[in-house]
Structure formats: C-alpha cells, structure tokens
Structure 1
Amino acid sequence: MATTTPLSLASLDSLPAGVERPAYARGDLSAGIVHFGVGNFHRAHLQVYLDRLMNAGRDRDWAIVGAGVTPYDVKMRDALAGQDWLTTVVEQSADVSSARVTGVMTDFLPPMDGPAIVRALADPAIRIVTLTVTEGGYFVNPATGKFDPENPAIAADAANPDDPKTVFGLILAGLKARRAAGVPPFTVLSCDNVPHNGRVCRDAVAGLAAAQDAGFADWVRDSVAFPNAMVDRIATVTTDRERQITRETYGIDDAWPVFAEDFIQWVIEDNFPAGRPAFEEVGAQFVEDVTPFEMMKLRILNAGHAMIAYPAGLLDIHFVHEGMEHPLVRDFLRKVELEEVVPIVPSVPGMEPAQYFDIIERRFANPKIGDTIRRLCFDGSNRQPKFIIPSIADRLAQGLAVDGLALESALWCRYCAGTTDSGAVIEPNDPIWDRLSETAQRAKTDPGAWLDMRDIYGDAADAPAFRDAFAGWLRALWADGTAATLERYLGR
C-alpha cells in the first residue's frame, strides 16, 4: 500500500476496508477486568475473545485495564499509549491472512505503580483479575511443584505487605482492601501454560498471604475463586518484520502489532462467583474439570515445541516452519510423540490424542506465522519440568521406555552448552543460563551432572533407564553431531 494510517481511535474510520475494527465505541465500555502481563499472547487470546463478544453487542462492562510489574510492561505501555491502547491482530493460516483491530483495553496503569494498581483492584467494578506472567512467574519450585515462600521477591512482599512489588503481593493488597470495604472478592484467572494454573495461582496468593496473616490466608482459600484454564494459540514475537508487514499489507502503522495463527482455543472451569463474560458464545468451552484438556495440550503441543526447538537450534534453523521442513527434525518430533507421549495421554470429549497431534503438526508447519526456534528454546529450565519431565516420570512409573524423551533432554543439554553444531554462539536464552551453561559443559564428560539438577528433574533423575539413555545420547551428540544422532534414533 502506498500510504499507511497511524493507529488510533481517531483513525479507525480511515483504515482500509479489509481490516476489521471495533463495532463499539470506547465510550460504550466500562472496566470489569484487570490483567497483569499485557504481552502478545494476551492480546491475541483473551482480548480477541472479548472483542468478539463486544462486537456482538455483549458484555461491554467487561473491558480490560492493563497492569504490570516489569520493565517489559513499561515498554509495552509506552508503545500502546500512543495508539489509545488499540492492537492490530494479524491472523494467519497457511493460505489466508486477515487483520483486526481490537479496542477492549481501555487503560493501562503505569507499571510498578503499586498504589494505582491496588486502587484499581479494590474497585467494585473489577470482578475478574487475569494473568499472563509466563510459566516461570508463579514462584514454584520445579522439583517439588509447590509454591516457594523463600523466593527473595516473595519474602520481600511478605515483609512489606503495604508496599508489594510482585503480582501476587498486589493481588493480596487488592483483596485486603475489598475485604475491609465489604466488597466481594474478584475471581483470579490464570491464562498461562501451567498445569492446573488455577491451583498454582491460588497456592501463590494464599502462600504469600500465609506469610503475612494466617487468618487472611484461610479467607483467601475459602472465599476467592481460582478456576483452572487451558489456553492455546501460537502468537509470535513482534519484530520489525511484523511491523513492516502490517504497514505494507494492511496499511496500518502499529507500534506493536500481534501476529498469530488462525487457531484459538480456551477451556475454562466455570467458577466465577462475581460473574463473567459469556465467552462460550464466541468459542470458549466451559467444563467441570480442565485436567484432561490441559494434559493433552501441554504434553503434546508444548512438549512438541521443545522437541522441535533444540535439534533445530543446534542445526542453525531460524523459523519453526523451517524446522518442520527438515526431515530429521520433523520425523524426530513425530516418532517421540507417537511412540512415547500420545500413548499415555488420555482422550478428551471429541478428540483422540493422535488426532490432536495431527492438528498441532499442521500448525507447527504453518509458514505464515514466522515463529522462531529461539523463542521455543527460551526458558527450558521452567518449561521442561512442566512439559517433558512429567511424561518421562509417567513412563518410568509404568516400566516403559524413554529413549526419545531422553534424547530430547540430551538435546536441551547440548544446546545449553552454548554453541550450535556449526560453532555459532548461542546467546543466553534462559533466566538461569549461566548455571545451565556451566552444568552442560561439565556434562560433556560427566552426563550425570546435568540430571543432578534435582530442582528440574526431581526423582526422574534416579531412574537408571533414563540416566543411561540420556548419557548415551549426550555422548553421541558431542561425538557425532545432531544430524547423525537423529539419524541413529530414527534408524536410518
């Protein structure tokens, strides 16, 4: 397109005809949700569901107020402030792309402004608090799977309850203010890829409360709803590539557009005492127990990301769809999934695990998304204990082989050593990268050193079958390289 339109409320009517835009005016909306962690996934998921509802004339008293506690949130707020909190969401299948502008966020509180955030949380109009704070943002000990009250950030909030710095400290302060004013508590809804995310969120909020006031912790457990939910959509990191496509293809100058696949899913336990939007009318599914849905998704899709990520990263592959075009990477994913993961994942109504794998295999191969291998490699120290190691533990408990899953672990270890097979340097890509890199280097001659990270591997590290398979694969990776090791595993 020859010209572009800077995104703003004033320019909505000037956008190209093919771009969907809000059918509601900002003045028609009132806030009902405070959301922590306004990132790309949130804007491509919860905001899209809410935009669909509001475009249908529903639930316009559930607009979102953004909040955050990190420098990333500051950067995001600065980008969105100049465009009236609007977002361009570009949805892409392999064959079709479309753009929509969502306007469901009406404000974004200054990040780390505790008093302003607590005031918003105390507002009776706010009936739901949602979170996307990443898998590692719940202060969980990976080995035990339990809330860690000794984390320095949590300990600081416990000692200073009137000046909280964490999301959970702020939530507690908001709940305390509501309780004092006789206002019913809001529902807390996690939208992160964490098994039993509602329970994990409850443990964090109540665990911090227990360090401040045992009676208050009991009230939190008894009075505040924390429904579990399973979320699913691939949304990529925004770079200048995405900004340029948004300008050239859709004529929109957006400081931080979101690119996502056309697939979207949300399965939620229906536990909202203070009310909720009618998300089921726009595709969400409400169930009594989300456990089988989240197990299928986390162990097949999220684990599948890891199975692609580390071999592709070691082979200097940049994009996920390029990884799926590489026969060794693609076939490694398929063999491990169908032989070791799918057989131990229960079905859900209307979907068998093997069918689900076929769907996610097509999704991973979508060339339009531009998802990067580096993004999938990020934060393995938090993701492996949630997505890979549970399948290892379950198979070991049943006396089943873990050959492919052990190779996936060896590939992660080899990646963390910090160089690809070609010798290219892998820049730090984990919150504890220095520790992982040092341990991976020691594991080159002592493979057991890697599995001895018990905060990550837990009791699975004790199983001789897993230790032996891991050691064998890691030695092969160092001796023969990634491609030859994958060929050996695949029997070629």
Structure 2
Amino acid sequence: MTTKLSLANLNAIKATAAVPAYDRSKLKAGIVHFGVGNFHRAHQAIYLDDLFNTGKDLDWAIVGAGVLPSDEAMRTKLEEQDFLTTVVEQDNNKSAARITAPMIDYLRPGNAAVTIAQLANPAIRIVSLTITEGGYFIDPASGKFNPGHSAIVADSRNPSDPKTVFGLIIAGLKARRDKGITPFTVMSCDNIPGNGEVTHAAVSGLARLSDPAFADWIDASVAFPNAMVDRITPATGPREIGIVADDYGIEDNWPVFCEEFKQWVLEDRFPAGRPALETVGVQFVPDVAPYEHMKIRILNGGHAAIAYPAALLDIHFVHEAMEDETVRAFLAKLEHDEIIPVIPPVPNTDLDAYFKQVETRLFNPKIGDTIPRLAQDGSNRQPKFILPTTADRLRRGEDVIGLSLVSALWCRYFAGTSESGKAIAFNDASADRLHAAALKAKDDPQAFLALSDIFGEVAQSSLFQRRFAQALRTLWDKGTRTTLQLYLDGKWRMTS
C-alpha cells in the first residue's frame, strides 16, 4: 500500500519520511532555477529546504525553468505531486527519506515570454543553473565560450525569442534594466572550473553578438559568483522508484537518491541579496578556486579514471569497481603520484585525507551509482577533469604515465566493445566522431589525439604522445587488467 506524494498527503507520509516543518503556502519566489535535475534537487534544493525548516528566509523559494524537451517531462512529473520530491540520503550504514518542498512552481519550457516575465519579476534576485558541463557552449580545447555554436548564432539573430538559457537570461536582464529593476545574480551550480566566470563569458559573449553596449552593461552590473558543489547523485530509474514505494510506502514519480555527504563553497557576491545559507552549512569564501581544483580533479577526475577500465571489465556499479582490487589500486596510485601533487594548497584541508574520504564515498553501495553515468559525456568531462592535470604536469616537466593511461582507456572504451566483446552504449554528443577516431587509433594512436578541440595543447606534447601510444597499444595487446597491473607494478617504463 503506497501513498501518492502530494501536499494533501504529507500528514500520512510523515510516518515513514521526514516532512517539511514549514507551511509551503507561506513561501514566496526568490530564485529561478534552470535545470531541475537530480543533482539540483539533492543539493541546492536541500540547503534551501534546511533553511526554510528553521523558519528563515521564506521569500527565497524556487521557480523551476528549462529549455529542453526533457525538462517538460520532469515538469509534468513534479507538477503531479505539487513539486515535492522524496530525497533518500544513503550512507554505508543507514538510509533515510525526506520530503522537500522549496520549489513552488515550474515554468513550462518553450514559452520564452512567460520565462522572461518571471526573470523580470523584482522578487527574483538569483537565477541559478545546473545545466551540465556540456551546456555552456565551451570550446573543449581552449576552455573559452564558443560564439560560433549554431544555437548561440540563432539566439544572437533573434534575441527577442531566445531558445537557450543564456538568451533567456539576457532577455530577462534587459527587461529589468529597462524597468529600472536591480539585476539578479547569476549563480552556476555546475562542475566546471571557474563556473561563475564561464557563465559570465557565455552571457556576455552572447549579448555582445547582437548588442555590444548591453554586454558592457552586463559586465559592469551583473554578479556571477564562482561555486564548488559536491554530492554524488545517481540517475533515477525503476530501482529507485521501487525502493521508495517498498521501503517508505511513497508513490513518487521521480525520487532522488544521494549520498549523505554534501558540500557547497560559494563566493559571497550577491548585490541583490541572498538567503542565509551559511546557517545550514554553505561555506562562503573569498576565493573558491582552491576548493574547486581539489574537488574537480580528485573526485571528478577520480570518477573519470575508474569509469573506463570498469566499463571495459563489464563492471556496472561504482562500488563494485572500488571492490575490484586492481581498479581501486589504480585510482589510488594515480591520485597520489600524479593528481594530488599538482593541486594547490586548500585552506585548512589535508588533500590526502580528502582523497581517503572520496574513497569511502565511492565504496557506498546503497546509492547505486553506476559506471555508465560516470562514463557519459567524456568529450566535455575529460577536458575539465583529466586533461588540465595532464597539462599542468607537462608544463612542470613531470611524467604523465597514469594520466596518459586514463586517456588511452577512454579511447579504448570508444572502440565500442568491452573486454568480453559486449557492445558499449555511448552517451556523448560527440560519440560518432569519437568512435570513428578510436577505431582508427587501434593502428594509429595519433588519430585519437587529432581531436584537437578536446586535447588542445596536450596533444602537442611528444612525451604525452608516446605515453598515450604505449598505453593504447598495451591495452589492445594485453588487455585492461594486465595493463593496469603493469602500471601498478612500476614495470611500465620508457625513455623520454
């Protein structure tokens, strides 16, 4: 017997799950959020839910927004349950469900006029984003905004009817300026180095294509704070929906599962005001860069490092990859020998202890995080999570044996079959060209490095070229497990 998730049923649901301590009807909108996915509902929405449970800042509720067809599917499912979400937080030794209610509306995607009107509402003081690493129109090799992308060009030619998030933000800002309303702060919550600066570049860069003077106004008037966000949040499927129904008696269209750990480090630049998130654990700091370097390179880089060998070995769950002694040892050696040594110091943080904490998190079997999730979108993730560390080591004249092996494993993965011959299902916007290049690279490793928009300056290093070629040939000749073991045994050496 299950109970349908809704405001009317909260009293019945509280027997098995924590419910909001606040009256949802008392909330007022203060934030428009683009990208209402699982991570947002397990992270930013949780912090706001915690804050509202203290009785504070009830005028900072969320209005969801989106631009993709998939956003409409999410909106429909959440609207059916009054925009409530069941969040199941799972540690190694415990699980607990809570109902969160900080979102009070979700704008229908595809109606630019309605979205722009909401963005022009003086009550909206923050516009936040979780649109994934690939949503910022960044050239992978240079790391800079790409003004030539077809979606950006289309918005620049028709700024009054924008189709991208950034076009909508620009239209909203322009409406506020014309009405004399203080501009909102634009806050990225995506895993991108300097995510505030990247967002600024996209908004200003798009505006400059059609209205340079307004782009100058954006540069002078709008705040784009950098942030580091962290919480492992797998995708929702029938397994998660079934657990919520069976264990908690709740019928939720799209529940969220996540680890217990969460972290949010944020620059305190909010000219239009902000909620008192510091009271519920958000760290406000002058410079986020040290924290984001640590997280993106150790955790996200670690994800990338284990994703491809695990996929090639037909391992499905992340915790199962960590239970594999060879994969786990590969991650530890890579982190200690090549990644951690080039990360700048982080205030009051021991990087080795941080990695130990990451290992513990990756071992968590309850959240059911999957290798296919970690392996997706590598064309955007490799240039952000792996290749910057490779570039740093090369600039310092240091070796990149392990990091080259990570890139070679990614190439071997895109050949399309695991070690057992099982077909690999790709989830990457550049899958076709990556697959074609990976097949050519079996005979000519440089064919994969010729993807210059991804590898950039790294591909020009003769040391990296040799290390990559050796790693890829060893993977094809000896297999994934033997190649990892050669690396672990220190027997993989070649002259520089």
TM-score class, shorter-chain normalisation, is over 0.9
Residues 151-166 of structure 1: pairs in structure 2 closer than 5 A: 151-166=149-164
Verify the 8 A CA contact 2:28 2:61 in the aligned structure 1.
yes
Letter in 2 for 1:488: L
Q: Which residue of 2 aligns with 1:29?
A: 27
**Aligned residues between the structures:** 490
- CA offsets, 1:389-413, max 9 Å, x none? 0100000011111000000000000
Verify the 8 A CA contact 1:184 1:274 in the aligned structure 2.
yes
Residues 352-431 of structure 1: pairs in structure 2 closer than 5 A: 352-431=350-429
Residues 83-94 of structure 1: pairs in structure 2 closer than 5 A: 83-94=81-92
**In structure 2, C-alpha distance between the alignment counterparts of 1:264 and 1:72, rounded to whole Å:** 26
Q: Which residue of 2 aligns with 1:241?
A: 239
Residues 263-302 of structure 1: pairs in structure 2 closer than 5 A: 263-302=261-300
CA displacement at 1:18 relative to structure 2: 3.8
**In structure 1, C-alpha distance between the alignment counterparts of 2:167 and 2:398, rounded to whole Å:** 43
Give the alignment partner of residue 104 of structure 1, picking from 98, 102, 105. 102
Verify the 8 A CA contact 2:30 2:62 in the aligned structure 1.
yes
Letter in 2 for 1:160: N
**In structure 2, C-alpha distance between the alignment counterparts of 1:131 and 1:14, rounded to whole Å:** 33
**In structure 2, C-alpha distance between the alignment counterparts of 1:72 and 1:322, rounded to whole Å:** 30
CA displacement at 1:464 relative to structure 2: 1.2
Which runs of structure 1 show a deviation greater than 2 angstroms over 4 or more consecutive aligned residues? none
Give the alignment partner of residue 39 of structure 2, picking from 28, 38, 41. 41
CA displacement at 1:89 relative to structure 2: 0.4
CA displacement at 1:4 relative to structure 2: 1.1
- CA offsets, 1:264-287, max 9 Å, x none? 000000000000001100000000
CA displacement at 1:347 relative to structure 2: 2.4
**In structure 2, C-alpha distance between the alignment counterparts of 1:279 and 1:419, rounded to whole Å:** 46
- CA offsets, 1:209-252, max 9 Å, x none? 10011100000000000000000000110000000100111111
* Coordinate RMSD, CA, aligned: 0.8
Q: Which residue of 2 aligns with 1:451?
A: 449
Secondary structure class of the residue paired with 2:326: helix
Q: Which residue of 2 aligns with 1:177?
A: 175
Q: Which residue of 2 aligns with 1:229?
A: 227
CA displacement at 1:346 relative to structure 2: 1.9
**In structure 2, C-alpha distance between the alignment counterparts of 1:416 and 1:250, rounded to whole Å:** 40
**In structure 1, C-alpha distance between the alignment counterparts of 2:483 and 2:336, rounded to whole Å:** 19
Q: Is 14-23 or 426-435 further displaced after alignment?
A: 14-23
1:319 aligns with 2:317: yes
1:62 aligns with 2:60: yes
1:168 aligns with 2:166: yes
Secondary structure class of the residue paired with 1:243: helix
CA displacement at 1:26 relative to structure 2: 1.9
CA displacement at 1:452 relative to structure 2: 1.4
Q: Which residue of 2 aligns with 1:200?
A: 198
Gapped runs of 5+ residues in structure 1?
none
TM-score, normalised via structure 2 length: 0.98
- CA offsets, 1:135-171, max 9 Å, x none? 0100010111111111000000000000100000000
- CA offsets, 1:454-483, max 9 Å, x none? 111111111111110100010011111111
Verify the 8 A CA contact 2:16 2:249 in the aligned structure 1.
no
Q: Which residue of 2 aligns with 1:52?
A: 50
Verify the 8 A CA contact 2:62 2:104 in the aligned structure 1.
yes
Q: Which residue of 1 aligns with 2:5?
A: 7
**In structure 2, C-alpha distance between the alignment counterparts of 1:348 and 1:97, rounded to whole Å:** 31
Secondary structure class of the residue paired with 1:20: coil
Secondary structure class of the residue paired with 2:108: coil
Verify the 8 A CA contact 1:346 1:353 in the aligned structure 2.
no
Secondary structure class of the residue paired with 2:89: strand
Letter in 2 for 1:347: P
CA displacement at 1:427 relative to structure 2: 1.3
Verify the 8 A CA contact 1:16 1:251 in the aligned structure 2.
no
Secondary structure class of the residue paired with 1:147: coil
**In structure 2, C-alpha distance between the alignment counterparts of 1:222 and 1:394, rounded to whole Å:** 32
CA displacement at 1:451 relative to structure 2: 1.0
TM-score, normalised via structure 1 length: 0.99
CA displacement at 1:19 relative to structure 2: 1.1
Verify the 8 A CA contact 1:299 1:387 in the aligned structure 2.
yes
Verify the 8 A CA contact 2:85 2:254 in the aligned structure 1.
yes
Verify the 8 A CA contact 1:138 1:200 in the aligned structure 2.
yes
**In structure 1, C-alpha distance between the alignment counterparts of 2:142 and 2:393, rounded to whole Å:** 19
**In structure 2, C-alpha distance between the alignment counterparts of 1:429 and 1:174, rounded to whole Å:** 33
Q: Which residue of 1 aligns with 2:460?
A: 462
Give the alignment partner of residue 259 of structure 2, picking from 255, 258, 261. 261
Secondary structure class of the residue paired with 2:18: coil
Verify the 8 A CA contact 1:210 1:216 in the aligned structure 2.
yes
Letter in 2 for 1:154: I
Identity %: 60
Q: Which residue of 2 aligns with 1:213?
A: 211
CA displacement at 1:422 relative to structure 2: 0.5
Q: Is 383-392 or 11-20 further displaced after alignment?
A: 11-20
**In structure 1, C-alpha distance between the alignment counterparts of 2:134 and 2:351, rounded to whole Å:** 27
Verify the 8 A CA contact 1:44 1:235 in the aligned structure 2.
yes
**In structure 2, C-alpha distance between the alignment counterparts of 1:244 and 1:124, rounded to whole Å:** 41
Give the alignment partner of residue 344 of structure 1, picking from 330, 338, 342. 342
Residues 476-491 of structure 1: pairs in structure 2 closer than 5 A: 476-491=474-489
**In structure 2, C-alpha distance between the alignment counterparts of 1:100 and 1:466, rounded to whole Å:** 48
**In structure 2, C-alpha distance between the alignment counterparts of 1:463 and 1:355, rounded to whole Å:** 32
Secondary structure class of the residue paired with 1:426: coil
**In structure 2, C-alpha distance between the alignment counterparts of 1:349 and 1:489, rounded to whole Å:** 32
Secondary structure class of the residue paired with 2:419: coil
Q: Which residue of 1 aligns with 2:129?
A: 131
- CA offsets, 1:174-226, max 9 Å, x none? 00000011101000000000000000000000000100111000000000000
**In structure 2, C-alpha distance between the alignment counterparts of 1:368 and 1:361, rounded to whole Å:** 15
CA displacement at 1:431 relative to structure 2: 0.8
